[in-house]
Amino acid sequence: MIKQLTAISLSALLLAGCQTTNPYTGEQEINKTTKYGGIGALAGAVVGGLANGKDGALAGAALGGAAGAGYGYYTDRQEAALRQRLQGTGVQVQRNGNDLKLIMPGNITFATNSYNIQASFYSVLGSVALVLQEFDKNTVEVVGHTDSTGSRQYNMSLSEKRAQSVASYLVNQGVAGPRISYFGAGPDQPIASNDSTSGRALNRRVEINLRPPVQ
């Protein structure tokens, strides 16, 4: 039991071994690849140790670490590419585990009450398309959002048309159509209060969600 715990403890140290400073936020965080590799190593150590003692735990940790880091490393690289290309464009890049989200404010994407992409935003979406072509393993979900001004029916329709416009542009730029889905959420998923001008501006947006492929 002590041998197994030793191997597991070594695996757990992987989670704390590579803390870095995020260049965009200045916050301390664990490198995503190290994190997922460490989790895989820990799981492998548990399984291997139960089966074959110390040797099994160490072998399981190695195999589990390699498997766990695989998609995490892929997401690390895709996130870095997106941040580099989108820096200074007004588009936010957020990450939650292996999911990436691009948040595109409405004021730079579409004119008021329009679902035609503004010409000034073509180059930004073109940069997104280049990254999506290079990193083609995840699914792409485009979601349109509005504030609560006006009727819900109008906002649902406008948000869906905006999502469709972005999805169509990505396909026209070479992103594989079967990867992409889109829908309009209208005013149903606010990220700020609709009681203020600034809050309504934040709610008017298009999001692109990048997720691991369904296994």
How confident is the model over 123-134, as pLDDT tens digits? 999 999 999 999
The yes-or-no verdict on residue 21 having pLDDT over 60 is no
Q: Which residue has the higher pLDDT, 150 or 56?
A: 150
Q: Which residue has the higher pLDDT, 100 or 215?
A: 100
Rounded Cα gap, residues 209 and 180, in angstroms: 10
Q: Which domains does the chain have, with CATH numbers?
A: 2-81 (no CATH), 88-211 (3.30.1330.60)
Percent of the chain with pLDDT over 90: 65
Residue-level pLDDT at 24: 42
Residue-level pLDDT at 189: 97
How confident is the model over 33-80, as pLDDT tens digits? 555 555 554 545 444 555 565 555 544 544 455 455 678 999 999 999
Mean per-residue pLDDT, 111-124: 95
SS3 labels along the chain: CHHHHHHHHHHHHHHHCCEEECCCCCCEEECHHHHHHHHHHHHHHHHHHHHHHHHHHHHHHHHHHHHHHHHHHHHHHHHHHHHHHHCCCCCEEEEECCEEEEEEEHHHHECCCCCCECHHHHHHHHHHHHHHHHCCCCEEEEEEECCCCCCHHHHHHHHHHHHHHHHHHHHHCCCCHHHEEEEEEECCCCCCCCCCHHHHHHHCEEEEEEECCCC
Residue-level pLDDT at 35: 55
With cut-offs at 50, 70 and 90, classify the pLDDT of residue 145. Answer: very high
